[in-house]
């Protein structure tokens, strides 16, 4: 297992926080994501289309298998330790628990990123800060930043 099991404060339900990404997703379609082990892929029913516009600055994580993950939710269901602006300003150096061979980076999208998971099942993961990421690329989105 990578990372540890995390538990949100009692009575706090995860919900997406704006990170410059448009979403109509219901967070209850994938309960428990914030209690999953960190940096672990998880299948999640996701019938909605998510969109990040060209020119949006986003945090992405590249895993050791060559997959790129785009942040869609900031410190879900938690009491944030910092603001989104502070998190992004800290940059990739803020991560202390990335698995070996993984790297984080900040990118400005060169084109619109439309997530349309095949069969309505997205692959997501959470990081050490309870931020949630969508896998990008074929079968998940039209663009891999």
- Complete DSSP assignment for 83-130: -HHHHHHHGGGG-S-PPTT-EEEEEE-SS-EEE--GGGEEEEEE-TTS
**φ, ψ of residue 122 in degrees (nearest 5):** -90, 160
Pick 132 or 62 by higher pLDDT: 62
The per-residue pLDDT for range 44-80, each reduced to its tens digit, is: 766 556 678 899 999 999 999 999 999 988 886 667 7
Judge whether 143 and 136 are in contact, CB under 8 Å: yes
Confidence of residue 23 (pLDDT cuts 50, 70, 90): very low
* Sequence spans of domains, the chain: 41-135
Judge whether 29 and 117 are in contact, CB under 8 Å: no
């Amino acid at each position: 297992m990578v990372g540890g099991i995390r538990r949100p404060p009692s009575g706090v339900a995860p919900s997406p926080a704006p990170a410059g990404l448009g979403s109509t997703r219901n967070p209850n379609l994938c309960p428990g994501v914030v209690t999953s082990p960190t940096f672990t892929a998880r299948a999640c029913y996701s019938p909605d289309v998510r969109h990040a516009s060209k020119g949006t600055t986003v945090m992405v994580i590249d895993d050791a298998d060559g997959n790129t993950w785009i942040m869609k939710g900031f410190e879900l269901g938690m009491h944030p330790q910092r603001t989104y602006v502070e998190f992004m300003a800290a940059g990739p150096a803020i991560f202390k628990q990335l698995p070996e061979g993984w790297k984080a980076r900040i990118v400005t999208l060169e084109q619109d990123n439309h997530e349309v998971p095949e069969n309505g099942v997205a692959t997501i993961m959470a990081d050490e800060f309870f931020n949630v990421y969508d896998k990008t690329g074929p079968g998940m989105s039209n663009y891999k930043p």
